[in-house]
Structure 1
Amino acid sequence: MATEADDGVRQLRRARIAIAAVFCVHGTVTGNFATRVPWIQDHTGVSTGQLGLALAFPAIGSSLMMPLSGAITHRFGARRALRGLLALWTLALALPALAPNLYTLCAALFVFGATSGMSDVAMNALGVETENRLGRSIMSGLHGMWSAGALIGSTAGTLAAHLGVDARVHHLVAAAVLTALGALVCGAVLDLRSAPDEAPPPRFARPPRAALVIGLVAFCAVFAEGASLDWSAVYLRDTMDASAGLAAASTTAFTLTMAVVRIAGDKVVDRFGAVRTVRWGGVLATAGGLGVVLAPAPAVAMAGFALIGLGVAVVVPLAFAAAGRSGRHPSQAIAGVATITYTSGLIAPSTIGGIADLTSLVASFGLVTVLALGLVAGADVLRTGVRARSASGGGTPEAAPARSTGATQ
């Protein structure tokens, strides 16, 4: 009996490492793609405006196709579904660089976003189930691994661009390597399957109301994150008269802050709970927004951006975790939250720019400050605790009731 329990614990620990590796692989694809966008623009010959249009298609593809993830998982099981969807995402990395013109680029980016969104929902749902069985928070760390993967991918992409490597070659090689790694690590994630008599989740149903409310909290965090990531350097240069190097350093520091805090965030969540963590994160992000708006010098503005990153870093992982426990079909709820966050990330940069054109960047970040305050007000909707492991005598983690991606074991 003890041996079976020990085997179950070891299997669960392997599953936790495996799902963390999946998040890292997923993020690495994004990092590799983002660094070669200038090459893709030159290769396709599109203007800046046309490139902006094309870059909207990943979000469109994700939003439309994410709801399919639950149905795919129901049919094939969580492990097979994740392995297949992750492979489609890693292979899709090769498509944008192969596009010869605007129309094919838009189509390639639609597929790129669709495969990203479906695999994103599948891996987050499995992450939630792994967290439930461990009985402690891991979602922040998983998203930290995604950020670490994005940094790895961007480093590889920067090196390839510096060496003048053709992006078609770079992305084909990266796609092959990441597909192989993804298939390998997916072999150890939890293998959940639907009960024979369980009806499949609807393919394109509206997510539960609880998930929509959770999504609004995530919207506030992602808006602040996207605005800071895309506009912090411009803010320091244009508003604070900072040098180009100092302005760029602000964006890099913000990205590193997000990654580090997410990796370390699980200990904070386990100590204080999701609601208190998000509420105090909102306080920090609001203080950071005020620091940016009222900054008398570049150093103060940089500190403000760092506080925003510190405050919002763990909100999205906690929102996904709460959504996964908010209804009968976790994938459907997670897809709803993910759609809202993708929409927020899509509209944040353009909204900040539009307000800045009408007024100023200072006024734009006044809006970011107000939305950060929304985290303080809305933190209570994340009041869904991590399910503890079975406490019945001799029960193993693997015996806990399964709730992941709409499937039951």
Structure 2
Amino acid sequence: MSIFSALRLSRAPVAAFMAVGFTWGCIAAMAPVLKARIGVDDATFGLILLGTAIGLSTTLYVAPRWDQMLGKWALPLGTVMLACGAVLPAVAYTVPLLFVILMVLGGVSGLTDVVMNSRVAEVEARTGRSLMNVNHAMFSVAYAISALLTGAMREAGWGPPLIFAAIAVLVLCTAPFQVMPVQKVSPEETATPRLPLGLIAMCGLIVLVGFMAEATVEAWSALHIERTLGGGAAEGAFGPAMLGLTMAMGRFSGQAVAARLSEIAVIQIATGLAIVGVLIAAVAPVPAVAYLGFGLMGLGISVIGPMGLALTGRLAAPRLRTAAIARVAVIGFLGFFIAPALMGLGAQTFGLRWAFACVALLLAVIWPLTRFAERSPTPR
């Protein structure tokens, strides 16, 4: 199936993935500004980023009810709230205020995340097509576009209020395209008393580590280039943009690669590439070398999350597939918000170079996890 065919089949969730990408691409490129405005060290800034994790944890309980109550309107209305939240960092002048704003952003972003992944799973079940990679690719495309636009606006002298407002408009423009018919499910069908907890834990950890590695570069690459390597605002913004661009390339090609290799083989190869990339970025003497490292890392980690979700779908029994994927996705989302805080503590203690090197150790955990997956039986 062509990329364009996949995009057409999953138009509504694709628009939502782009909305989330626009939001966090801007936040990543504005990280140096946000940190400088409140005047905190790396460890404190990392802990402030935990606000997004707290916000996310609340939506994990709200999202299923939100989806069930609003049906086809759940996704676009969630995106409207995300657009409103995307403006708020413009007024984050104090530590408590930034923390609360990130909680709000984490909450509405998590709400959209859960629903949009559920929509992809629903379309996949209805069409029998693999669509997870292409949807995650569009998140990366939007993330890169947002990071580059934000860097250009910073270089042009735009202040935070104008920058965040411009990105919020982009987010809002995706909402009308997110309306899609939703299949009604009875309470009896949604009951899953015997979920494969071992499978969920194993695949959840794979996705979690992949997303944690991605989140560290999203949140800290601009700071690494501007502070450690002496780059300017546009050069700093190009760090997360390079990650987004190469992740998009990796995810668009992931469908073709997955047709020839198993999910486990793809994850193992991708992990090795990501480890090489992050180590190059850690020792880079100039921004250009860091871009190479972030690019290789982007190609590697691009498919770990989607392939982990696809592996869950293959190994879970058909009647439990959607519920298992939803839970694995939720575990993975936590990585986006836990990792930046851990990275901040590492940067404060050891410096950003060593903190990035520790990401390589984190990624190496995926290899033994995939060995367990190889021994898991395929359901009938």
- TM, length-normalised to structure 1: 0.72
1:195 partner letter: S
Which residue, 11, 18, 22 being the options, matches 2:12? 18
The alignment-based identity, stated in percent, is 25
Q: Distance in 2 between matches of 1:105 and 1:181?
A: 26
Partner in structure 2 of residue 122 of structure 1: 115
Q: 1:53 to 1:356 in 2, by over 3 A?
A: closer
State yes or no: 1:370 paired with 2:361: yes
Is the 1:65–1:114 contact (alpha carbons within 8 Å) kept by the matching residues of 2? yes
State yes or no: 1:195 paired with 2:191: no
Is the 1:320–1:337 contact (alpha carbons within 8 Å) kept by the matching residues of 2? no
Q: 1:132 to 1:108 in 2, by over 3 A?
A: same
Is the 1:292–1:305 contact (alpha carbons within 8 Å) kept by the matching residues of 2? yes
Partner in structure 2 of residue 186 of structure 1: 178
State yes or no: 1:349 paired with 2:338: no
Is the 1:323–1:333 contact (alpha carbons within 8 Å) kept by the matching residues of 2? no
- Higher-Rg structure is 1
2:13 partner letter: I
1:171 partner letter: F
1:23 partner letter: F
Is the 2:148–2:241 contact (alpha carbons within 8 Å) kept by the matching residues of 1? no
The Cα shift of 1:340 comes to 3.8
- TM, length-normalised to structure 2: 0.76
Q: Distance in 1 between matches of 2:291 and 2:166?
A: 37
Q: Distance in 1 between matches of 2:379 and 2:165?
A: 40
Q: Distance in 2 between matches of 1:100 and 1:347?
A: 19
Any gaps of 5 or more consecutive residues in structure 1?
A: 1-9, 388-409
State yes or no: 1:48 paired with 2:40: yes
Aligned-pair RMSD on alpha carbons? 4.2
Is the 1:93–1:175 contact (alpha carbons within 8 Å) kept by the matching residues of 2? yes
Partner in structure 2 of residue 278 of structure 1: 267
Is the 1:12–1:130 contact (alpha carbons within 8 Å) kept by the matching residues of 2? no
Partner in structure 2 of residue 217 of structure 1: 206
Is the 1:147–1:259 contact (alpha carbons within 8 Å) kept by the matching residues of 2? yes
2:75 partner letter: L
Q: Distance in 2 between matches of 1:30 and 1:90?
A: 11
Q: 1:54 to 1:71 in 2, by over 3 A?
A: same
State yes or no: 1:147 paired with 2:147: no
Q: 1:386 to 1:191 in 2, by over 3 A?
A: farther
Structure 1 residues 217-256: aligned runs within 5 Å: 217-228=206-217, 244=231, 253-256=242-245
Partner in structure 2 of residue 66 of structure 1: 60
* Structure with more of its chain in helix, by fraction: 2
Q: 1:289-334 deviations in whole A, cap 9, x for unaligned?
A: 6767899999887655544332222111222344567446357514
Q: 1:231 to 1:294 in 2, by over 3 A?
A: same
Q: Distance in 2 between matches of 1:136 and 1:384?
A: 22
Any gaps of 5 or more consecutive residues in structure 2?
A: none
Secondary structure at the aligned position of 1:272 is classed as coil
Q: Distance in 2 between matches of 1:135 and 1:125?
A: 15
The Cα shift of 1:149 comes to 0.8
2:177 partner letter: V
Which residue, 144, 164, 173 being the options, matches 1:171? 164
Q: Distance in 2 between matches of 1:297 and 1:99?
A: 31
Q: Mean alpha-carbon deviation: is it higher for 292-301 or for 306-315?
A: 292-301
Secondary structure at the aligned position of 1:94 is classed as helix
Q: How many residues align?
A: 365
The Cα shift of 1:24 comes to 1.3
Which residue, 256, 260, 267 being the options, matches 2:249? 260
Q: Distance in 2 between matches of 1:155 and 1:234?
A: 15
